[in-house]
Amino acid sequence: MVTMFTSLITIQENNMILKGEMQIITELEYVSNIIDDYLMDKVGYELPEAVEAFPAALSNTVWLNTKLDEGDETIYLVKINTGGEDANFGYSLNMQIDGKPDIGPIYLAAPIEIIYFDIDGNEISSAALATAVGRAQIRSIQIILAVYQGQYNTDTMRARTLVIRKYFPNLAI
């Protein structure tokens, strides 16, 4: 009888763990689709020369000019960053598109980390990214996101990290 109850408890516990992992995977897929397939898909596509592809590029913030939807020729300024820590929910991932409703809120286990690379795959320094000439060297970007499941508590929560690496073929070489 004890073995049967122990087995049932173990099965229930494993089911809860699997359910939590599926929630994390679903959240990671949602965030990845928004950032990789929607917001960053057309960065640099048919940008006028006077418009900078990346008006801001920091380790936790990126601003980019892009077209979003087929048939819409408008160039939108998209801002992606994490806000300050909220003890109840984690770090808010902010995605704002000028002229459109904000996306979110989505909460992360850690602040977003963004790394920028040039045409040769070399990391661009933060000093270079502070200038328009430095930002014009960006050809790819790596975004690291940590999504969690359960209550926001860094000691007990389960978190998974997603690394998005995006190359921008539309940028002039």
Per the CB < 8 A criterion, the answer to whether 106 and 93 are in contact is yes
pLDDT at 173: 53
Question: pLDDT band at 15, cuts 50/70/90?
Answer: low
**Residue from 51, 42, 33, 37 nearest 168 by CA:** 42
pLDDT at 30: 84
Q: Alpha-carbon distance 73 to 42, whole Å?
A: 11
pLDDT in tens, 63-108: 999 888 888 888 899 999 887 777 678 888 888 998 888 887 788 8
- What's the average model confidence in pLDDT over 4-33? 73
- What's the average model confidence in pLDDT over 26-33? 81
Question: pLDDT band at 14, cuts 50/70/90?
Answer: low
Q: Alpha-carbon distance 145 to 108, whole Å?
A: 7
- What's the average model confidence in pLDDT over 30-39? 84
Helix, strand, coil in percent for the chain, rounding step 5: 25, 35, 40
Number of C-alpha atoms within 13 angstroms, CB side, residue 28? 20
pLDDT in tens, 137-151: 999 999 998 887 777
Q: Of 1 and 58, which is predicted with more confidence?
A: 58
